[in-house]
């Protein structure tokens, strides 16, 4: 039997109330051959993660309805008919899973060594000493530095990349036949992402595993997948070998996923979105081949948007020798200085975008937060219209707060869940006395909702009623209520699906074109930065490694660290 996993006519629904169910997976079928890598690709809500959780038996039994005609066979055995004890014996030993967010998957009160050893003692019946020895071997195998020390570390004492490696070590501990990887690199930097992908591929060959890799990014799996399954709204839209799907995609949705993401070799005036493909009369190309009247938008033969700086650009913010240190407790009474930002200097031009890139811990977010005075700078100046934002008093800075705003990374955490969207938009206008009264402010809020592409009905609704992309639009609208001149975008599209990401990037560009906004765009996604930035500043360990015009930096990077970042970008094709 060549197929290790066979999923047939899988239908899964969730109970909304006593009478209503919502179908999440609608009769899908696919196989995972032995020793092969199969990528399950689709946007949030496509049903890909639900399908994998069904294989693992991790769906909540009280609210989940699986059609009796559905079948999931693993190694010739029907999984859906297994008892709870049989399923527990199989999962972790023969089938293992790497989850998307390691920090929420690892127990914060146990050391990483204890958590890996637990798997070995439960499934392999090892003694404590045997499990510890094997745990050390596993930590070394997945590339954890100094495993003899890290084995007794807690998850909070490790970086995101190291936490994900611990999750992989736990998953391969019993040498499973099938490894399910659910978005294992979504929140990781491009270099760490490449390392994790290479590690999974290397372990697959070494342990003769099959891998079911779940992601929303087609470009990410091009280099490792043998087969690709594209899902949307609980259905399989396309399936085939990686060569077929990437070389000659048959479905319009697949083509949309491939083209929504910015690339390094083109910068269209606007990024295409899913609707451009699915609503097109000709499924082989996006709708609107001609230039849209008055907008300069061309989708079939995209106009190139020119980026870069010029000597006569008007500076809106001049930062010199910005520094920020944190003092960390060491021992009972000692303190240690950690320099998070070291003498960072740059000039932001009016109506232009400065991209700030680097790995986690490089100091790029700290730069943004320090400019907003959410961190107190240790040194340096930030001149805005002749005034130093860093040196002025809190009272003086109050009037500048509304002129420099931030869009945070996580739209689920940055909006108050107890406020309606209307409350979220009106609050900053009331605080900064924008508008004569609430009637005028409400009218302005409705105009902003329209500006960011949300219906007027959103005013009365709560954040939990919206998708991630819609929440990010609400966050952008909240910033716009104060009519800022500078927006700090802190990883503001990294948590979004590629199609929603394209919509938000188009929105940011439209707002910049209309209002002349200046952006400090912080990201670890170098393809996105290439698309939106005029200049790019590369940071590493708190210092600036390189600062140049976008096209120049990507064409001819000068610093070895910049070259390493660019080399790690996944390229499909």
**Domain edges within the chain:** 251-305, 315-567
DSSP letter at 292 equals: P
Q: CA angle, corner 352, sides to 346 and 356, nearest 5?
A: 50
- Alpha carbon of 87 to those of 2, 78, 112, 117, 214: distances in Å? 22, 11, 25, 20, 22
Percentage of residues of the chain with pLDDT beyond 90: 54
How sure is the predictor about 334, in pLDDT bands with cuts at 50, 70 and 90?
confident
Answer yes or no: are the C-beta atoms of 472 and 492 closer than 8 Å.
yes
The H-or-E segment that residue 444 falls in is: helix 438-451
User: Is residue 31 scored above 80 in pLDDT?
Assistant: yes
Per-residue pLDDT at 62 exceeds 60: yes
Residues 418-447 have a mean pLDDT of 94
Q: What percent of the chain has pLDDT over 70?
A: 94
Question: Sorting pLDDT into bands at 50, 70 and 90, what band is 280?
Answer: low
500 pLDDT tier (thresholds 50, 70, 90): confident
Tell me: pLDDT of 486 over 90: yes
pLDDT band, very low/low/confident/very high, at 284 (cuts 50, 70, 90): very low
Q: Identify the residue whose tokens are 């997948």.
A: 225
Torsion angles phi and psi, residue 192, rounded to 5: -65, -40
Q: What is the pLDDT of residue 282?
A: 52
Q: Are 65 and 169 in contact (CB under 8 A)?
A: no
Cα angle: 307, vertex 308, 313; to 5 degrees: 120
End-to-end distance of the chain based on CA atoms, in angstroms? 31
**Structural contact between residues 489 and 521, judged by C-beta atoms closer than 8 angstroms:** yes
The mean pLDDT of 89-118, rounded to a whole number, is 89
User: Which residue has better confidence, 337 or 161?
Assistant: 337
pLDDT at 379 over 60: yes
Which range, 189-198, 227-236, 263-272, is most confident? 227-236
In the predicted model, what is the mean pLDDT of residues 288-308? Answer: 52
**Contact assessment for residue 542 and residue 338, using Cβ atoms and an 8 Å cutoff:** no
**Separation of CA 103 from chain center:** 15
Tell me what the mean pLDDT of segment 540-569 comes to.
92
Beta bridge partners of 78: 73
pLDDT band for position 127 (50/70/90)? very high
Look up the CATH number of domain 315-567: 3.40.50.300
DSSP-derived 3-state class of residue 142: coil
pLDDT of residue 571: 66
CA distance 441 to 426: 6
Measured between alpha carbons, how far is 322 from 320 in angstroms, rounded to an integer?
Answer: 6
Find out whether 46 and 234 touch, Cβ atoms under 8 Å. Answer: yes
Q: In whole angstroms, what is the distance from residue 159 CA to residue 374 CA?
A: 23
Is the pLDDT assigned to residue 206 strictly greater than 90?
Answer: no
Dihedral pair phi/psi, residue 453, rounded to 5°: 85, 30
Name beta bridge partners: 328.
336
Least confident interval from 115-119, 142-146, 284-288, 320-324: 284-288
Question: pLDDT per residue over 310-325, tens digit each?
Answer: 989 999 999 999 999 9
Average pLDDT of the residues in 260-289: 72
Q: How many CB atoms lie within 10 A of CB 181?
A: 27
HEC string for 515-526: HCCEEEEECCCH
Does the pLDDT at position 328 exceed 80? no
The pLDDT, as a whole number, for residue 134 is 95
User: What's the pLDDT at 302?
Assistant: 53
Positions of E strands within 108-147: none
Integer Cα distance of 341 and 321 in angstroms: 9
Task: Indicate the SS3 state at residue 135.
Answer: helix
Q: What is the pLDDT of residue 287?
A: 39
pLDDT above 50: residue 460: yes
Q: Give the contacts of 210 (CB within 8 A, at least 6 positions apart).
A: 4, 5, 32, 33, 34, 35, 36, 37, 38, 177, 178, 179, 204
Higher-pLDDT residue of 331, 112: 112
pLDDT at residue 198, rounded to an integer: 84
Q: What is the pLDDT of residue 350?
A: 95
485 within 8 A of 316, measured Cβ to Cβ: yes
Answer with the residue of higher pLDDT: 175 or 333.
175
Give the span between the Cα atoms of 468 and 141, in whole angstroms. Answer: 36
pLDDT of residue 352: 96
Q: What is the C-alpha separation between 503 and 497, in angstroms, rounded? A: 10
Q: Among 295-299, 375-379, 409-413, 537-541, which is the least confidently predicted range?
A: 295-299
Confidence tier at 306 by pLDDT (50, 70, 90): confident
pLDDT for the residue numbered 449: 92
pLDDT at 300: 45
**Average pLDDT of span 17-45:** 91
Is residue 573 very low, low, confident or very high in pLDDT (cuts 50, 70, 90)? very low
pLDDT-derived band of residue 411, with 50, 70 and 90 as boundaries?
A: confident
Instruction: Enter the pTM of the model.
Output: 0.82
Which of 66, 77, 62, 70 is CA-nearest to residue 4? 77
Give per-residue pLDDT as tens, 225-250: 999 999 999 999 999 999 999 889 99
Write down the pLDDT at residue 1: 60
Question: Rounded to an integer, what distance in angstroms lies between the CA atom of residue 273 and that of residue 61?
Answer: 37
Supply the pLDDT for residue 244.
92
Please, what is the average pLDDT of the chain?
88
């Amino acid at each position: 039997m060549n197929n290790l996993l066979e999923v047939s006519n899988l239908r899964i629904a969730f109970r909304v109330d006593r009478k209503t169910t919502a179908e999440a997976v609608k009769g899908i079928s696919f196989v995972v051959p032995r020793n092969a890598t199969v990528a399950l690709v689709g946007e949030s809500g496509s049903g890909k993660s639900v399908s994998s959780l069904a294989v693992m038996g991790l769906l909540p039994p009280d609210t989940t309805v699986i059609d009796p005609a559905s079948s999931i066979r693993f190694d010739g055995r029907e999984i859906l008919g297994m008892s709870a004890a049989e399923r527990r014996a199989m999962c972790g030993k023969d089938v293992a899973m790497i989850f998307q967010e390691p920090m929420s998957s690892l127990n914060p009160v146990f050391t990483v060594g204890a958590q890996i050893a637990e798997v070995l003692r439960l499934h392999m019946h090892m003694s404590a000493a045997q499990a510890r020895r094997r745990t050390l071997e596993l930590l070394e195998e997945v590339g954890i530095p100094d495993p003899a020390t890290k084995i007794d570390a807690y998850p909070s004492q490790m970086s995101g990349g190291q936490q994900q490696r611990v999750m992989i070590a736990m998953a391969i501990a019993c040498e499973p036949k099938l490894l399910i990887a659910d978005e294992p690199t979504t929140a990781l930097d491009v270099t760490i992402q490449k390392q994790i992908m290479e590690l999974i591929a290397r372990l697959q060959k070494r342990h003769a595993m099959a891998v079911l890799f779940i992601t929303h990014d087609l470009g990410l799996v091009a280099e490792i997948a043998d087969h690709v399954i594209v899902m949307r709204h609980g259905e399989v839209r396309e399936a085939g070998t990686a060569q077929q799907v990437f070389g000659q995609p048959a479905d319009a949705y697949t083509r949309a996923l491939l083209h929504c993401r910015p690339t390094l070799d083109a910068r269209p005036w606007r990024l295409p979105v899913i609707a451009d493909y699915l609503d097109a009369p000709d499924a082989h190309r996006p709708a609107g081949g001609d230039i849209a009247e008055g907008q300069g938008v061309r989708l079939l033969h995209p106009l190139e948007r020119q980026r870069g700086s010029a000597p006569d650009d008007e500076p809106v913010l001049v930062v010199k020798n910005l520094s920020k240190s944190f003092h960390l407790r060491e021992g009972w009474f000692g303190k240690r200085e950690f320099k998070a930002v070291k003498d960072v200097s740059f000039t932001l031009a009016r109506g232009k975008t400065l991209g700030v890139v680097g790995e986690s811990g490089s100091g790029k977010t700290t730069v943004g937060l320090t400019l907003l005075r959410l961190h107190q700078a240790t040194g340096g100046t930030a001149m805005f219209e002749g005034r130093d934002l860093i040196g002025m008093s809190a009272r003086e800075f109050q009037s500048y707060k509304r002129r420099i705003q931030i869009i945070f990374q996580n739209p689920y955490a940055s909006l108050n869940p107890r406020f309606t969207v209307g409350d979220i938009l009106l609050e900053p206008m009331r605080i900064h006395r924008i508008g004569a009264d609430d009637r005028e402010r409400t009218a302005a809020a409705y105009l902003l909702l329209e500006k960011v592409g949300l219906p007027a009905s959103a005013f009365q609704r709560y954040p939990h009623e919206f998708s991630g992309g819609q929440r990010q639009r609400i966050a952008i609208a909240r910033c716009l209520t104060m009519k800022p001149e500078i927006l700090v975008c802190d990883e503001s599209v990294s948590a979004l699906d590629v199609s929603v990401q394209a919509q938000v990037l188009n929105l940011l560009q439209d707002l910049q074109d209309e209002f002349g906004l200046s952006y400090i765009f912080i990201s670890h996604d170098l393809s996105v930065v290439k698309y939106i930035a005029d200049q790019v500043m590369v940071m590493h360990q708190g210092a600036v490694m390189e600062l140049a015009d976008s096209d120049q930096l990507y064409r001819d990077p000068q610093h070895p660290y910049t070259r390493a970042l660019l080399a790690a970008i996944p390229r499909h094709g």
